[in-house]
Structure 1
Amino acid sequence: MAWNEPGDNGQRNPWGKKSPGGGKAPNLDQLLKNVRNRLGRLGGGSGGIVTIVLALLIAWMLLSSYTIINTSQNGVVLRLGQYSRTLGPGFHFKLPAPIETVSKVETTRVRAMVDQVRMLTSDENIIAVNFNVQYQVSDARKYLFSTNDPDDTLKQAAEAAVRSVVGAHSMDDILTSPGEDVVAAAVPAGAASSIAKPAPAPVASKASGDQDRVTLQQQTREALQRTLDGYDAGLVVTDVSFQNVSPPDEVKAAFDDVNAAREDKQSAVNKAYAYANQVIPQATGEASRILAKAAGDKAERVARATGDAERFNLLLTEYKAAPAVTRQRLWLETMEEVMARNTKVVDGSDGRNIINLPGAAPSAPVSAGVSVTGDANGQEKQP
């Protein structure tokens, strides 16, 4: 017969054992009553109560007499509410609570704080700065007991540091990119004196030198750390960064117009410098060419004059030695030079015999009775 068929098999179970109490389900009220009876017998006398108290006391002492500190934590032990010691990572014994309590503080976790402040710059312009501060707990005891709310203290100190550092500079110092002030570096050093540079704008005048954003962040971090050290807050600042530095929305349109005008000005200045860099080398090269040509002409003229003077001195010496011969030779050389540049006709026979000498074609009519012939190659022709 199957175990779940009707009949007397209700006292059986699938494993062949009889269910306690027959076919009836256990009574919950009866179970609770049995437990109360047993507890009543245990604490029925003074010895039973003492046993319960001692058991609870021992369990409480065992559970509250040690603590485990994680590797990223430090534990600050308070004995009756007063600082006792600081525990490092690991397993530690202590007096049971409430005699000694342990407050665990995360010391290796990098915490972050993000905030925005509006302030006036040194030139009385409104600017909004979104900044981020990352910090860690350097001393768990100071972190817990030096200030009421160390995180809020850091927030207030960070805002004060940002105001003191950023507010000491003008808006142009804060918002102008570092590359705008190095345009003049593109001008050649030798040509710098010959270029008319524009008058320096207020952007270029800085009381303490150019300050880029990285320097401002570094100054803010140092100022914030000095403040926290003065408060003895037990915090160390690892980084300060400016997420966004811009004018407020109320004046953003006007600032954009000013920024666009500054960019147009910078573009015009860059074009002027580019034109100067193109024209100045050409002018410099032309001047060098003229100077070189002048020097060459000077050397040529000096050499020619020196040679003429030497030649004249030689002729003078020859003339003093034989004046008549020298005069004749000079006359012949002069006539040779003159006749070499003109058409030459020699007639020694009353027109019957014509000797044609090399020369150019006549440029004017020849008188009657005289024939002048010649070709371009200077060859003689017979009539």
Structure 2
Amino acid sequence: MIKINQIFKLINYTRLLVTLIIIIITFIIFSSIYTVKDGEVGILRTFGKVTEYTKPGLHLKFPYPIQEIDVINITRTNIIEFGLIDTENLNNIGNHESQSITKDNGIVLTNLMVEWKIMDPYAYLFNIKNPEYVLRSIINSCLKSVIGKNTIDYILTDGKIHIANSLKEHIQRELKNYNFGIEIIGVKILDARPPEDIKHAFEAVADAIEKKDTLINKAEEYRNKKIPAIEGEASRIIKEAEAYGQERINKAKSETEIFNSLYEEYRMNKEVTKTRMLIETLEEVLPGANIYIVDTKENTINYIPIQ
């Protein structure tokens, strides 16, 4: 009876050992096979030291703890939404990542979307511990620095694009200093607003600015309508003046030519020319009068009627 019990115990131990061996073999097989997908890179470590970068495909390795594999996606665009505004607690001015102090000592709440991707898998894995946490800390620091250089009016109205671009450059510069292995693809300001208790005052300012822009646009439209008419009238006056000036020049030239002709005639025959000019002058001064030329050199008075 004792021998039978021992046999059963031996059988149970054997089954347990076989099961354990199967589990170990299964673990070794599954831990020795890994897949790298398209857009990914595998970083293989042997006893903790990087020994190989593997391309997409099915690969084999020694089981843990001899070799370990980290698969990193280097094509995916990752998104961090930063500074989410809690609309139920907008008046709670505390240590919230959405709250920043402006250049003119105002408080602004911001909500950002930061897009990034891994450019250097080794630097991303081994240069910084907990890289996403550190990235959020860098974004927070850069946001407060950029917001602190601008006024609250500019941030809430026309400055969002400029501030987003400045923030992107600032974050990328800090990541480069840390050798982070990350590239910032884009930064977008999803929302920017003052705390709720002063929100209405800024909305009034925004409405006033919008009305000002509307009036400016109307004035520009009116000016654009009037300027062509004014320019056309000015062009007409200039052309008339030029035509009048040319007419006067032509008339002066004509009178000069007549004078020169008379002068030449006068120079060739002074007495005859003087007499003719005298007669023409009398005809202009005394229109309709009878004009006679009297020759007094002889005893008999002779006269010649001109008209």
Instruction: Name whichever structure is richer in strand by fraction.
Output: 2
**Does residue 334 in structure 1 map to residue 283 in structure 2?**
yes
Q: Which residue of 2 aligns with 1:239?
A: 186
Aligned equivalents of 1:106 and 1:323: distance in 2? Answer: 112
User: Retained in 2: the 8 A contact 1:86–1:141?
Assistant: no
Q: Distance in 2 between matches of 1:61 and 1:328?
A: 136
Q: CA offset at residue 157 of structure 1?
A: 1.7
Partner of 1:162: 143
In structure 2, what is the Cα distance between the partners aligned to 1:123 and 1:276? Answer: 42
Residue 235 (structure 2) aligned to one of 285, 300, 310: 285
Task: Please provide the CA RMSD for this pair.
Answer: 4.3
* Alignment partner, residue 266 of structure 1: 216
CA distance in 1, matches of 2:273, 2:15: 167
Q: Which amino acid aligns with 2:287?
A: V
1:68 matched to 2:35? The reply is: yes
- Summarize deviations over 1:303-345 as a string: whole Å, max 9, x none: 3531452354366357635489x469937982899239xxxxx
How far apart are 1:168 and its partner, in Å?
Answer: 3.1
Greater gyration radius: 1
| Distance in 1 of aligned mates of 2:215 and 2:277 | 81
SS, match of residue 142 in structure 2: helix
% identity of equivalent residues: 18
Deviation by residue 1:75-133 (Cα, 9 ceiling, x = unmatched)? 444556x3444542333333323444434333332211122444344455554443221
Among 105, 129, 134, the alignment partner of 1:153 is: 134
- Alpha carbons of structure 1 residues 224 and 313: separation in structure 2 relative to 1, 3 Å: same
Q: Distance in 1 between matches of 2:177 and 2:129?
A: 15
Please show how residues 15-30 of structure 1 align to structure 2 within 5 Å: none
Give 1:248 deviation, angstroms. Answer: 5.4
Q: 1:304 to 1:102 in 2, by over 3 A?
A: closer
Shift of residue 37, structure 1, vs aligned partner: 10
Report the CA distance between 1:299 and its aligned residue. 1.1
Q: Which residue type is aligned with residue 222 of structure 1? A: E
After superposition, residues 223-234 of structure 1 pair within 5 angstroms as: 223-234=170-181
TM-score, structure 1 length as denominator? 0.54
Distance 1:121 1:269 in 2: 34
Structure 1 stretches lacking a partner, 5+ long = 1-35, 178-210, 341-383
Q: 1:42 and 2:42 equivalent?
A: no
Number of residue pairs aligned between Structure 1 and Structure 2:
267
Larger relative helix fraction: 2
TM-score, normalised on structure 2? 0.65
Q: Is the 8 A contact 1:107 1:137 kept in 2?
A: yes
> For 1:1-383, what aligned pairs fall within 5 Å after superposition?
40-43=9-12, 54=21, 56-77=23-44, 82-85=48-51, 87-88=53-54, 89-116=56-83, 117-122=98-103, 126-170=107-151, 213=161, 216-245=163-192, 250=199, 251-267=201-217, 269-271=219-221, 273-274=223-224, 277-278=227-228, 280-282=230-232, 284-310=234-260, 312-313=262-263, 316=266, 320-322=270-272, 326=275, 330=279, 334=283, 338-339=287-288
Superposition deviation, residue 69 in structure 1 = 2.8
CA distances 1:286-309 after superposition (whole Å, capped 9, x unpaired): 441353144134314413531452
User: How far has the Cα of 1:140 moved from its partner?
Assistant: 3.4
